Structure 1
Amino acid sequence: MAAHRKPSNVLQLSGAFAKNPNRTRTDPTPRGPIGSAPRQVPITFRKAWDLIVKASPDGVLADRDRLAVEIAASLFVQFRAAPADFPAAKFARLQCLLADLGMTPAAASRVTAAPKPQRNDFDD
């Protein structure tokens, strides 16, 4: 079985990146605390879409991800409407889609979003 993935700050402190500089990575930084629990009320597709887009790591979602976000939002609406009646297969698919979008703790460590290019005063 493979070893658990260590956070990049732990690898940095242990000197792993000095030994293997090609493995250097930067984990996404959280935008804030987790906050209070959501109200378990049915939501609209638009609200589910906006929630998924807002919660995704910066720089990860693009136009190519629209179909995956659409399916995830649709499944999330169904889950919120009746969590107790939501089939396990649909729940597994929703969880896989969220992981593919980098929205689970384990998947967030594997996400590498392209950094925003730095503006240089001499560019023109």
Structure 2
Amino acid sequence: MKKLNYKQISMLLYGIALFTPMFFGNWTIGVFGLIMGWLGIFALEPFVAIPWIANFLYFGNLIFNKLNLKTKIGLSILTIICALFVIGLRELPENEGGRNSDIVVGIGFIIWLSSFVILLIGQLREKK
């Protein structure tokens, strides 16, 4: 059986995070956050918009192989910093009536963040 490299493990974790609950208190799965996160930009909600931008940084890091390793490591660190902003999110809209539910980060967030950390660790190992 072929051993997975750090990029493949990172992408696998990211894929798992898309189908696990992002928050406790509201059982919204990760793919919903990926699809609807752009609304945080228009709502001027930094705890939604900045983590959503982390996804673009992550995919840019994976796609642009021509970047030098220092730039990729910097992108990985910036991705993790952006992703951590979601910790400041304390409530999500529950329905159209304006009711909100209190939330804390869930297992999906932890898996999502770990995909970024695995990528960074792999890049740091590659540097040595």
Whether these two folds match at TM > 0.5 is no
Q: Which has the higher helix share?
A: 2
Q: Which has the higher strand share?
A: 2
Larger Rg: 1
| Greater RCO, 1 or 2 (C-alpha within 8 Å, sep 6+) | 2
TM-score between both structures, scaled by the size of structure 1: 0.32
